[in-house]
Amino acid sequence: EDQVTQSPEALRLQEGESSSLNCSYTVSGLRGLFWYRQDPGKGPEFLFTLYSAGEEKEKERLKATLTKKESFLHITAPKPEDSATYLCAVHANAGGTSYGKLTFGQGTILTVHP
Partner 1 sequence: SQTIHQWPATLVQPVGSPLSLECTVEGTSNPNLYWYRQAAGRGLQLLFYSVGIGQISSEVPQNLSASRPQDRQFILSSKKLLLSDSGFYLCAWTGSLNYGYTFGSGTRLTVV
Tell me which residues touch partner 1 (CB under 8 A).
Answer: 4, 31-32, 34, 36, 41-46, 49, 87, 89, 91, 99-107
Three-state DSSP state, 90: strand
Q: Could you tell me the sign of the dihedral formed by the alpha carbons of 8, 9, 12, 18, in that order?
A: positive
Looking at the Cβ atoms of 74 and 94, the one nearer to partner 1 is 94
Residue 82 CB, nearest approach to partner 1 (Å): 19
**Among candidates 6, 26, 23, which has minimal Cα distance to 71?**
23
d(CA 54, CA 105): 21
Residue 18 CB, nearest approach to partner 1 (Å): 25
Residue 100 CB, nearest approach to partner 1 (Å): 5
Looking at the Cβ atoms of 73 and 114, the one nearer to partner 1 is 73
Radius of gyration of the chain (CA): 14
Looking at the Cβ atoms of 74 and 109, the one nearer to partner 1 is 109
Looking at the Cβ atoms of 78 and 105, the one nearer to partner 1 is 105
Question: How many other C-beta atoms are found inside a 10 Å radius of the C-beta of residue 49?
Answer: 16
Residue 16 CB, nearest approach to partner 1 (Å): 28
